[in-house]
């Protein structure tokens, strides 16, 4: 992180929006926006944002799976594949 480049006051963002967006897209580093010296927002490029959303979704699935394991909500692998093949006969060769 380059502190001087990656932290800007809201007044700077308002007057240099195009440059800010170019910087965020070129560097793919987040830009921290401050107001009265306090961090208030983070600007990231669209690709990074989408990647973050996918990562969060995957982590939620892992957390749900861990809860199922702890609760004993398990299904034998063979049973899972049998059920899938029964519901989708075209999968069998």
User: For the chain, which domains are there?
Assistant: 3-44 (3.40.1620.10), 47-91 (no CATH)
Beta-bridge partners for 9: 34
pTM: 0.70
SS (H, E, C) 9-61: EHHHHHHCHHHHHHHHHHHCCCEEEEECCEEEEEECCHHHHHHHHHHHHHHHH
Q: What is the rounded CA–CA span in Å between residue 86 and residue 78?
A: 12
pLDDT digits (tens, 9 = 90+) for 6-43: 999 999 999 999 999 999 999 999 999 999 999 999 99
């Amino acid at each position: 992180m380059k502190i001087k480049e990656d932290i800007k006051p809201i007044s700077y963002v308002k007057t240099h929006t195009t440059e800010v967006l170019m910087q965020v897209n070129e560097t793919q580093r987040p830009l921290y926006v401050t107001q009265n010296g306090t961090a208030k927002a983070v600007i990231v490029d669209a690709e990074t944002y989408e990647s973050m959303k996918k990562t969060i979704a995957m982590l939620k699935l892992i957390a749900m799976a861990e809860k199922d394991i702890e609760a004993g909500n398990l299904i034998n692998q063979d049973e899972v594949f049998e059920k899938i093949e029964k519901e989708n006969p075209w999968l069998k060769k």
